[in-house]
């Protein structure tokens, strides 16, 4: 029985060697694509075509304001009517799954990559990851950081500058460092929720 590749280990959230030749080549590929996306003035069709190459999947209504940064790109899956403002970083060593109607404000960081707390393996370059999931109709405020392994429930709002270190339920406003639920959304705030969410 063959050993899993470093790519397979990475996606499974197991310790892996980021210096592996395949992983290095895939990061270089993603870097070339997002650099092109970031520096060129692209019309909508050209922008979507480049996102087809970079991302794992995306809805037809997908708008990302450059610059944007990622590790691999192909582990990022975004739904319909997605909007990311300038300077977002999506470190996708594990999957980042984002639902429909999600807004990312400027400078949002979604991080799936992690390093051991123990010194010896960290110094040796061991890495691992945990996936991040964002539900439908979520707004993530400017400068927020989503740490490895967290999920955010449908309709929730993450206040600007928050550091999300644990799961946030659906239908709430959450803020702070560490991010905590401030209050539930009101019936009036939920009244216009798109059907199917």
Beta-sheet strands, E only, within 10-100: 16-17, 62-64, 68-70, 76-78, 82-84, 88-91, 96-98
156-178 residue pLDDT tens: 999 999 999 999 999 999 999 99
| Backbone phi and psi for residue 5, each to the nearest 5 degrees, phi listed first | -70, 165
Rg of the chain, C-alpha, whole Å? 17
Burial 122-155 (b: 16+ CB within 10 A, else e): eeeeebbbbbbbbbbbbbbbbbbbbbbbbbbbbb
Which of the residues 28, 63, 115, 136 is marked catalytic?
A: 115
94-104 residue pLDDT tens: 999 999 999 99
**Which domains, from first to last, does the chain contain?**
6-188 (2.160.10.10)
99-151 residue pLDDT tens: 999 999 999 999 999 999 999 998 988 899 999 999 999 999 999 999 999 99
The SS3 call for residue 183 is strand
How many CB atoms are located within 10 Å of the residue 74 CB?
17
d(CA 122, CA 120): 5
Q: 0.85 cut: is pTM over it?
A: yes
Residue 115 designated active-site: yes
């Amino acid at each position: 029985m063959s050993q899993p590749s470093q790519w397979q280990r990475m996606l499974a959230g197991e310790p892996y060697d980021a210096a592996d030749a395949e992983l290095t080549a895939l990061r270089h590929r993603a870097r070339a694509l997002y650099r092109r996306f970031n520096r060129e003035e692209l019309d909508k069709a050209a922008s979507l075509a480049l996102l087809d190459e970079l991302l794992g999947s995306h809805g037809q209504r997908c708008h990302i304001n450059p610059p944007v940064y990622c590790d691999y790109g192909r582990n990022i899956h975004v739904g319909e009517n997605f909007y990311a403002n300038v300077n977002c970083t999506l470190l996708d060593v594990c999957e980042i799954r984002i639902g429909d109607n999600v807004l990312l404000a400027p400078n949002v960081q979604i991080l799936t990559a992690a390093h051991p707390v123990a010194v010896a393996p960290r110094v040796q370059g061991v890495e691992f990851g945990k996936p991040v999931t964002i539900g439908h109709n979520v707004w993530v405020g400017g400068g927020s950081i989503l740490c490895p392994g967290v999920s955010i429930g449908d309709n929730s709002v993450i206040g600007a500058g928050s550091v999300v270190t644990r799961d946030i339920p659906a239908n709430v406003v959450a803020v702070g460092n560490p991010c905590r639920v401030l209050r539930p959304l009101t019936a009036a705030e939920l009244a216009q929720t798109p059907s199917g969410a």
